[in-house]
């Protein structure tokens, strides 16, 4: 190996967070090496947010068409996965080709290196035979990968993760889904609407367990309406695969079978083989923890899923912005996590920001809860079929502020916008109560819940 080439910054992993950081730093005139071993853009555009939301858009169109009887006449729908698979190939992923994204980065002045990067010492990064010495430092943005649980018989079977599910050109007749979190629920509902007979196996006692119990109940009811069977409180103990069939033996002794098995049991930071020990960081840690400027160590920043602060594209972009401002010495606010927004794109959508009621109580906050049901609001009543949802507000009574909120319903993720601003910027509840909420909108239900605070 020759002498290390000196540059300003090396960014490891060009997913959402790394691409944003590398592009901005290159655009600011620094010499930036961006390293990516798979596709520039990462999980979100190729196997995550964008293609899965295309599936959901298609599934929701079918569901809306099926709601025509009773409110607008008769309807008949004939689901066909081919247009979905085609859109994913032609519009979302360029059939998993990142040329456009690579050009976007190099167009900003960055230098792209395809390969697997490892840190070899302070400021030093190796990619194959090349070694770089980053004067200003290293940004780690290596994201997360699907966790595959150690279930007897699972390894070696042709199970799916989100990647194979997104790449599917045809759908199975039956599918088993391990895990009732965001990935399991979104993919299950979209595919069920195309006629796939789905059984979700969730080890915990409710689906979408990180959100409010009311959110779990609302989603569980919606899944049941789509014909999905949800088994909670049971775990898979054994997987058998023969012919075209997966068979799972569950912890209660029962068995379930399906043509496909989707594993959606969570995600883990990609830290393996990264050489963290060469810079004094713990290679066995679950995530790369940082300070409020995204600094994980001396001249090392970490952004996105790998930090464990919330595996969402908007969090990766947010953290990339904080790190870039720190590296460029531009100042501005450091990272704050009191108002993390998230939306699970089931129908109804479950939007949430900040703390849940349980989290707020555990934090010792003087909690007051406001709740309103969407079907009993004017807009929910008008909407009719598909109007399930609610607004739940978590207030800190002593400070007179909202510390969390959930907005579930049609466009629940959009309604969340107002609540996100309120929690982020600490709008006094008195001011929120004086707000005029347009009639008859879904977001007017916020006003109804607000009156209980
Ligand atoms: C099915 C699914 C649906 C999702 N839907 C949403 C959604 O609707 N909204 C939302 O906000 N979020 C969603 N997410 C989450 C979102 O995709 C992630 O939060 C986001 O991609 C994180 O960006 P990142 O840059 O941290 O990581 P990633 O996108 O994972 O990118 C990390 C990159 O680093 C590369 N890499 C890793 N190690 C190395 C190495 N040693 N050398 C070189 N390259 C390396 C990887 O190949 C990868 O491209 C979804 C995720 C999944 C799986
Ligand atoms: N709309 C969005 O923004 C969106 C969509 C998809 C994914 N994501 C991101 O990706 C992350 C990962 O999603 P995910 O759904 O894989 O993980 P998750 O952590 O949200 O849910 C995993 C679920 O699997 C269950 N589980 C774990 N092991 C199990 C086992 N052996 N048997 C049965 N159940 C088991 C857990 O109890 C949990 O409920 C999300 O937390 C989110 O940050 C976001």
Cα-based angle 337, 18, 303 (whole degrees, multiple of 5): 25
**C-alpha distances out from residue 145 to 43, 162, 323, 367, Å:** 9, 10, 23, 36
CB atoms within 10 A of CB 233: 13
CB atoms within 10 A of CB 12: 28
Residue nearest to atom 27 of ligand 2 (CA): 265
CB within 8 Å of 263: residues ≥ 6 apart: 146, 148, 149, 154, 159, 160, 161, 178, 179
Rounded Cα distance between 126 and 111, Å, is: 15
- In this structure, whether the domain defined by 5-41+98-146+268-327 belongs to CATH 1.10.1200.10 is answered with no
Helix (H) or strand (E) holding 282: none
Ligand 1 shell residues, CB under 6 Å: 12-13, 15-18, 35-38, 42-44, 48-49, 52-53, 116-117, 141-144, 162, 183, 270, 274, 304-306, 311-314, 316, 345
Minimum-distance ligand 2 atom for the alpha carbon of 235: 32
State pLDDT tens for residues 279-319. 999 999 999 999 999 999 999 999 999 999 999 999 999 99
Give the neighbor-by-neighbor strand order of the sheet with 174-178. 229-232, 197-202, 174-178, 260-263
Q: 5 CA to middle of ligand 1, Å?
A: 28
pLDDT, residue 242, reads: 95
Measured in degrees and rounded to the nearest 5, phi and psi for residue 354 equal 65, -145
Any alpha helices (H) in 143-243, and if so which ranges? 162-167, 182-192, 213-225
Q: Is 180 in the pocket of ligand 2 (CB under 6 A)?
A: yes
Rounded Cα distance between 212 and 350, Å, is: 10
CB within 8 Å of 316: residues ≥ 6 apart: 15, 16, 17, 20, 141, 303, 304, 305
Measured in degrees and rounded to the nearest 5, phi and psi for residue 303 equal -140, 155
2 is in an annotated binding site: no
Q: CATH second-level architecture of 162-265?
A: 3-Layer(bba) Sandwich (3.50)
Q: 313 CA to middle of ligand 1, Å?
A: 8
Rounded Cα distance between 98 and 411, Å, is: 31
Average pLDDT value for residue range 135-147: 98
Q: 144 CA to middle of ligand 1, Å?
A: 6
Rounded Cα distance between 238 and 122, Å, is: 45
Q: 15 CA to middle of ligand 1, Å?
A: 6
Residue nearest to atom 14 of ligand 2 (CA): 266
State pLDDT tens for residues 237-285. 999 999 999 999 999 999 999 999 999 999 999 999 999 999 999 999 9
State pLDDT tens for residues 192-244. 999 999 999 999 999 999 999 999 999 999 999 999 999 999 999 999 999 99
186 is in an annotated binding site: yes
State pLDDT tens for residues 327-384. 999 999 999 999 999 999 999 999 999 999 999 999 999 999 999 999 999 999 999 9
Name the percent of the chain lying above pLDDT 70.
100
Res 2 pLDDT > 80: no
Which residue intervals of the chain bear CATH 3.50.50.60? Answer: 5-41+98-146+268-327, 162-265
Minimum-distance ligand 1 atom for the alpha carbon of 145: 30
pLDDT, residue 284, reads: 92
Average pLDDT value for residue range 88-114: 98
Q: CATH second-level architecture of 341-450?
A: 2-Layer Sandwich (3.30)
**Nearest Cα to 405, choosing from 377, 427, 436?**
427
Residue nearest to atom 20 of ligand 2 (CA): 181
Find the length of the chain: 453
Give the number of whichever ligand sits closest to the CA of residue 343.
2
Cα four-point dihedral sign 16, 41, 28, 35: positive
- Mutation pick for ligand 2 pocket among 213, 261, 266 (CB with most ligand atoms within 8 Å): 266
State pLDDT tens for residues 406-431. 999 999 999 999 999 999 999 999 99
Rounded Cα distance between 204 and 419, Å, is: 28
Parallel, antiparallel, or unpaired for β 144-146 and 197-202?
unpaired
Rounded Cα distance between 348 and 408, Å, is: 6
pTM for the full predicted model? 0.98
Which ipTM did the prediction report?
Answer: 0.99
185 is in an annotated binding site: yes
- pLDDT category at 57 given cuts 50, 70, 90 is very high
* Cβ pair 32, 111 in contact under 8 A: yes
CB atoms within 10 A of CB 128: 12
pLDDT, residue 1, reads: 57
SS3 15: coil
Average pLDDT, the chain: 98
pLDDT, residue 129, reads: 96
Which residue intervals of the chain bear CATH 3.30.390.30? Answer: 341-450
In the block, residue with structure tokens 């859109």: 87
Minimum-distance ligand 2 atom for the alpha carbon of 184: 15
pLDDT, residue 200, reads: 98
Rounded Cα distance between 125 and 118, Å, is: 6
Eight-state DSSP code of residue 45: H
Give the number of whichever ligand sits closest to the CA of residue 275.
1
Q: 202 CA to middle of ligand 2, Å?
A: 10
Rounded Cα distance between 280 and 419, Å, is: 41
Q: Is 178 in the pocket of ligand 2 (CB under 6 A)?
A: yes
Rounded Cα distance between 219 and 207, Å, is: 8
pLDDT, residue 279, reads: 97
Residue nearest to atom 17 of ligand 2 (CA): 266
Name the percent of the chain lying above pLDDT 90.
99
Q: Is 9 in the pocket of ligand 2 (CB under 6 A)?
A: no
380 is in an annotated binding site: no
């Amino acid at each position: 190996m020759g002498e290390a080439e000196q540059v300003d910054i090396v960014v490891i992993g060009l997913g959402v967070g790394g691409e944003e950081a590398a592009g901005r730093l290159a655009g600011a005139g620094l010499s930036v090496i961006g390293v990516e071993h798979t596709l520039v853009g990462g999980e979100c555009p190729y196997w995550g947010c964008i293609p899965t939301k295309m599936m959901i858009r298609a599934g929701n169109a079918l569901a809306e068409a099926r709601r025509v009887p009773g409110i607008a006449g008769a309807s008949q729908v004939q689901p066909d996965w081919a247009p979905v698979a085609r859109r994913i190939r032609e519009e979302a992923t360029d059939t998993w080709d990142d040329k456009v994204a690579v050009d976007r980065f190099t167009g900003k002045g960055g230098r792209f290196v395809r390969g697997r990067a490892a840190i070899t010492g302070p400021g030093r990064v190796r990619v194959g035979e090349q070694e770089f010495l980053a004067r200003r430092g290293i940004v780690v943005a290596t994201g997360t990968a699907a966790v595959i649980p150690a279930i007897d018989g699972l390894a070696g079977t042709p199970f799916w993760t989100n990647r194979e599910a997104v790449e599917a050109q045809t759908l199975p007749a039956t599918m088993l889904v391990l895990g009732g979190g965001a990935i399991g629920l979104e993919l299950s509902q979209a595919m069920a609407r195309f006629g796939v007979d789905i059984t979700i196996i969730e080890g915990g006692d409710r689906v979408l367990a990180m959100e409010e119990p009311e959110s779990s109940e609302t989603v569980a009811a919606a899944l049941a309406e789509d014909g999905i069977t949800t088994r909670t409180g049971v775990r898979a103990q054994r997987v058998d695969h023969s012919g075209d069939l997966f068979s799972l033996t569950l912890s209660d002794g029962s068995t379930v079978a399906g043509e496909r098995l989707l594993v959606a049991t969570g995600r883990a930071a990609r830290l393996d083989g990264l050489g963290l020990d060469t810079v004094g960081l713990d290679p066995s840690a679950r995530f790369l923890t940082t300070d409020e400027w995204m600094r994980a160590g001396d001249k090392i920043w970490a952004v996105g899923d790998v930090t464990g602060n919330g595996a969402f594209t908007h969090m990766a972009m947010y953290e990339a912005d904080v790190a870039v401002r720190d590296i460029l010495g531009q100042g501005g606010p450091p990272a704050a996590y009191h108002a993390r927004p998230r939306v699970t794109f089931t129908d109804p959508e479950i939007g949430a920001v900040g703390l849940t009621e349980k989290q707020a109580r555990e934090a010792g906050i003087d909690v007051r809860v406001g709740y309103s049901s969407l079907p009993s609001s004017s807009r929910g009543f008008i909407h009719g079929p598909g109007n399930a949802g609610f607004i739940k507000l978590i207030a800190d009574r002593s400070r007179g502020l909202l510390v969390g909120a959930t907005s579930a319903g049609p466009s629940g993720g959009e309604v969340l916008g107002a609540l996100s601003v309120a929690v982020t910027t600490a709008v006094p509840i008195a001011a929120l109560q004086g707000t005029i909420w347009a009639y008859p909108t879904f977001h007017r239900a916020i006003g109804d819940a607000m009156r209980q605070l």
